Amino acid sequence: MFILGLESSCDDCSAAVLEERPGGPRVLSLVRRGQDDLHAPYGGVVPELAAREHLLQMGAVVREALSQAGMGLRRLDRIAVTQGPGLVGCLLTTFSAAKALAWREGLPLVPVHHLLGHLNAARIGRPDLPFPALALLVSGGHTHLYLARNWTRLELLQKTRDDAAGEAFDKTARLLNLGYPGGPVVDACARAAASAEGPFTAPRFRDGRPAWSFSGLKTAVRARVIRDPDLARAGAEDPRVRGLCRGVQDTIADWLLKPLPAHREATGARSLVLSGGVACNSTLREGAAALAHPEGLVLAIPEPRLCTDNGAMIAAAGALLAPAPDLLSLNADADLPLT
C-alpha cells in the first residue's frame, strides 16, 4: 500500500510517500520546507505568515515528493493528512489540498491526529516495538506522556500545565539573542559549555498529580538576564551564555525523564518512545538511552528528520487508520482531541 502523507500543523510544510509492507513502513520520499528565515525576525512563528507560506509551498512539495518516489497520484492507495491540533490557518491549507486531491483522484482520505503521527514516526524504524510503551512526545507545542497500548491507542499519563518544553528552548534563545529556532542553538551552546549554571527549582503542584511546568523556568532565565544584561549581548561564544544554556538544557531533560521510572513501574511498560521536535535534543536523547536499559525498556527514538514535523509520520499513522467515510464534511480542527 502506497500512502501520501501531508503535514503543515505549524511552520513546516512536508509531504512524503510511504510504502506500508508486512514488515513495516518504508519511506520512499520525504520533502520538508521550513520557514525559519521567515519567522526569525519575530523570534517565533507568526501564524498568518506561516499559513500564507504553506499556500505557496504545498503544490511544489507534493510534486517533489511524488517525483522522488517515482510515482504519480494514480499509483497511491490513500492520502493521509494532519487534521489537528495546530495553527488553524496552517492546518486548513494542507487539509483543503488533501481533500481536493482525494476527491479528484477518487482516493480514500485519512485524517490523522498530529501526536499520533509523532508516535508512528518511531514505527518507521522499530515496527516490532513491544507494547505497552511509554510515549514521551515533546515539541514546541506539546509536552505529553502517554501509555501506548499499540500504535493507534494512547492513554494520557502526564502533560505540561502551561508551556511546552520546546517553548522554553525558544524563549531562552530569544532572551540571549542567540537566534531562531532556539532548540538547535541552545543545544550547540550547551555542548560547548565547560559546566552548567544552575540549579533551577523544579515546580511543585498542590494537588500532587503528576505534571510538568516550564513557565517558571522561562521566568528564571529572564530574571538572570535582567540581573546580568550583558548576557543578552555576549553571544554564543561567551562561557556564561554557554553555561546558562547547558543549565537550561540539563534541567529540561532531567524534568522530562525523572517521572518515567515511576510510570514504568505503575503501567508495566516494556518500551519507551521519544519523539517530537525536542527529541532532536542531544542531552534528552542521551538521557533517554541511559535510562531505558536499567529500567528494562526497549528504546525507540526516530532519526532527527522524523522527529520534527514531517509527512512520513502522518503517512505511517494513516496506514493503520480507517479512511473517513464522508470526505467533503471533514475539516481541520485546531483543538482536535486525541480519542
For residue range 82-119, list pLDDT tens digits in order.
999 999 999 999 999 999 999 999 999 999 999 999 99
Q: What is the percent of the chain where pLDDT is above 90?
A: 86
User: In this model, does residue 199 exceed pLDDT 90?
Assistant: no
Sheet holding 271-275, edge to edge: 154-159, 143-148, 133-138, 271-275, 298-300
Q: What is the pLDDT of residue 204?
A: 87
- Measured between alpha carbons, how far is 307 from 7 in angstroms, rounded to an integer? 13
Residue 255 has φ and ψ, to the nearest 5°, of -65, -40
Model confidence at 328, in pLDDT bands (50, 70, 90)? Answer: confident
Ordered structural domains, the chain, with CATH: 2-120+305-318 (3.30.420.40), 131-304 (3.30.420.40)
Model confidence at 337, in pLDDT bands (50, 70, 90)? Answer: very high
Model confidence at 42, in pLDDT bands (50, 70, 90)? Answer: confident
**Residues 67-93: what's their mean pLDDT?**
96
Q: How far is CA 287 from CA 32, 254, 281, in A?
A: 28, 8, 10
User: In this model, does residue 154 exceed pLDDT 80?
Assistant: yes
State the angle between helix axes of 239-257 and 182-191 in degrees (0 to 180), rounded to the nearest 10.
Answer: 110
User: In this model, does residue 316 exceed pLDDT 90?
Assistant: yes
Q: What is the percent of the chain where pLDDT is above 70?
A: 100
Q: What is the number of other CB atoms lying within 10 angstroms of the CB of residue 270? A: 15
- Measured between alpha carbons, how far is 175 from 222 in angstroms, rounded to an integer? 7
